[in-house]
Amino acid sequence: MKSPLISIVMNCFNSDKYLKDAIDSVYAQTYKNWEIIFWDNASTDKSSSIAKSYDDKIKYFYSDETTSLGKARNLALKKVKGEFISFLDCDDLYFPEKLKIQIELMLSRNYVMSYGSAIIINDKGNEKKKLKVSNKSGYIFGNLLMHYEINMQSVMVNSSFLSKNNLNFAENLKYCPDYNLFMEISSRSKIGVLKDFLVKYRVSDNSLSRSTLDIVSTEIKFTLDNILPMQPELRLQLSREFNIAYKKLHYYDAIAAIYKDDRNLARKKLKPIIYSRIIYFVIYLVLFIPLPKKIFLKALGR
């Protein structure tokens, strides 16, 4: 039986710095039946020439205009031909066994989505932190409400499941269109979880996740608010988990305030939830101590 085709979606906007390393990590895969759907979101750097320097396993598409990330990913999804879809940002890396390990799990257990562990690296490629996943395969939506641990680069999804359920990336979201889609999927089906380290995820000081901290809580709330009307029974089944998720929105607002070095605002954001978890109460108290912002954020794992 022929191995199924995996479409690897790479969305690019002026990302030439680490692009060759990212693409090379796909060509180094032990699993060979793949294609790269390379969506160039109107880049003006060398991204185009780098992508086009490879063979026809890279399907290159150029956008006439720069769109939102969610829209760019949806446009790329329309070009995939594979039975399964993976994602790779242009500054991240796959481990050589990533596709092989994942497709074997997906096929053997008939999961519609899977993800695994990741290693965070810095601009120089040095390891900063290991993100070891804690969930076990199964219906884990409730667990993800309390602690979201999915790294997008490690994800693989069944393309027919997306099309049959009319699922795609929310184009109005700037920070977490991936969170929105993967939570939608996990609310409907069992998910495969791999303890293996599948990817290296690069975090830099000017990353999107840091520049959009102010909208984190708003966008996560958007996802929670939209899942409930579609599946109202979940509110009853997972009332505790939803309550924890909604309370955590205050924590995200506090983190955004800490990055701005506004301790008063951070305390104000935390105050409504300080008695719901010990960690929130501790953070609230520590915010009265004049610790340097860098040390405080490091203690929080930020």
CATH number of the structural domain spanning residue 50: 3.90.550.10
**pTM recorded for the entire structure:** 0.93
Q: Residue 208 has what pLDDT?
A: 47
**Same-domain check for residues 197 and 248:** no
Is 1 within a domain? Answer: no
Q: Report the C-alpha gap between 40 and 79 in whole angstroms.
A: 13
Q: Which domain holds residue 279?
A: 213-299
**Same-domain check for residues 185 and 230:** no
**Same-domain check for residues 249 and 189:** no
**Same-domain check for residues 17 and 154:** yes
| Bridge partners, 127 (sequence order) | 121
- Cα angle 75, 141, 138; round to 5: 100
Q: Report the C-alpha gap between 284 and 278 in whole angstroms.
A: 10
Backbone CA torsion sign across 250, 148, 89, 200: positive
**Same-domain check for residues 179 and 61:** yes
Domain boundary pick from 145, 176, 203: 203
Is 284 within a domain? Answer: yes
Is 121 within a domain? Answer: yes
Q: Residue 280 has what pLDDT?
A: 95
**Same-domain check for residues 40 and 78:** yes
Q: Residue 206 has what pLDDT?
A: 55
**Same-domain check for residues 192 and 79:** yes
The DSSP call for residue 191 is B
Give pLDDT < 50 ranges for the chain.
208
Residue in 210, 198, 252 with CA at minimum distance from that of residue 87: 198
Domain boundary pick from 172, 203, 234: 203
**Same-domain check for residues 232 and 181:** no
Q: Is 212 exposed, middle or buried (0-12, 13-18, 19+ CB in 10 A)?
A: middle
Q: What is the pLDDT of residues 156-176, one digit of tens each?
A: 999 999 999 999 999 999 889
Domain boundary pick from 178, 203, 228: 203
**Same-domain check for residues 95 and 55:** yes
Q: Residue 211 has what pLDDT?
A: 59
**Same-domain check for residues 199 and 219:** no
**Tally of domains in the chain:** 2
In sequence order, which residues have a C-beta less than 8 Å from that of residue 13 and are 6 or more positions away?
40, 41, 42, 43, 47, 66, 72
Q: Which ranges of the chain would DSSP assign to H, the alpha helix?
A: 19-27, 47-52, 69-77, 98-109, 141-146, 159-164, 177-186, 208-211, 216-230, 233-237, 239-259, 263-270, 278-286, 293-299
**Same-domain check for residues 174 and 225:** no
Is 208 within a domain? Answer: no
Q: Which whole-number Å values give the CA distances from 290 to 40, 251, 264, in the listed order?
A: 45, 19, 12
Q: Residue 292 has what pLDDT?
A: 82
**Same-domain check for residues 79 and 112:** yes
